[in-house]
Structure 1
Amino acid sequence: MRIYLIFLVVVSLFTSAFSDSILEYPSEIESRHKKAAEEDVNLHCTTWRFAAEMNNLAPWKTIPVECADYVKDYVMGKGYLTDLERVSEEALIFARSIEFSGDGKDIWIFDIDETLLSNLPYYIDHGFGLELFDHSEFDKWVERGVAPAIAPSLKLYQRVLDLGYKVFLLTGRKESHRLVTVENLINAGFQNWDKLILRYNYKQMQLLRL
């Protein structure tokens, strides 16, 4: 049995102004300084994003304050969608390259959050990552069951099914969110998976055993 696991896994500028009552600051020089500052921040935030995506950062809880506009522009613009499309296309190429074993046990595993379903509406309301992650608030979002599909992932999902893979969904969502997660997935266009694996509440399981 072979198992293929895919996780897709995604600037506030401060400028100084001098009072013209003291000395008029040449607008051309000011413009050059501002542009240079913007380029520095953009480079800093690009390298930070890349390191975060590669899991090469020390544990972090929020995005850098100076990268707020950068992150917003990225996820709301063409960059994020283009990255998603590229990853999905490469995953499909890989899926097509596999010669099935013939035992009906070739499995493709998808994560759910930020792989099949987008939580971007939640992060729009919470500063695009500037706020500390609040598990209770995120649970409320999950319980609404309105997370939209990530379009390139939905296309990949359908192609993987067409190729004959069994599809398992693996998520860190709680077992208590099974029903709302199933409804959300179906409403977003995801159907016919073989298994949905959620996170059990191990503390409750231990109490039941006692």
Structure 2
Amino acid sequence: MRRNLLCSLFAAAWLCAVSLTQATMIEIQLVDVDVQYDSSTGLITDTGAPRDPLTGIFVFAGGALQGSLTSSNLSFDLSIPGVFGIDPSGDTVTSAAGGSLSIFTPGLILDLTLDTADVIYNPFGGSFDFVFVGTVGSINAQNLPFVPGIGGAVSVTLSTQADTLIANATEVTSFTASGTGELEADLDLDPDNVVPEPATLALLAATLAAVAVRRRD
């Protein structure tokens, strides 16, 4: 009887740990992203002053829509440094690290420091597509709507089409482009680190199980 009780309690503790550590993918979609590039500075930035307005923010968890914002107060601030030598015939260029991405609603809901990003230029088919694929170096602040928070590895993708483009024989010198943005990350149920980690909770559950068995003795 004691053995069965012990096994049941430890199994419950293990299942508790599994459920708490099960990753849920969070997707944050940004609508009407506008960016610009200047080869003399190597910077890709938003086109706003001081920020570029967005027309929508959609938040998904595990593929299911959690909520959306479509007010006139939405905006984002972007800086991707160290982008040089984009070949006008098509190219992939890696940026420097240390860029930034911030999202406002109108208050700040997410502030990220970016790692390097791949800037992919596809001029074929007459559409002049620019795709920016990068990862996040650090999450500096977050106060997200509809979900507790994000954590783990965070990726950022901007899919845009050039509105204007200037190039010489060797490089793209400037462009403006518009499109959409998407952030993907794991759900963080405790972004402020108030609740103990899942491993700590599992250890606590196992300890309580052992105490319960001893008391039955």
TM bracket (short chain) = under 0.3
The normalised TM-score by structure 1 is 0.25
From the two aligned structures, give the one with the greater helix fraction. 1
TM-score by length of 2: 0.25
Greater strand content:
2
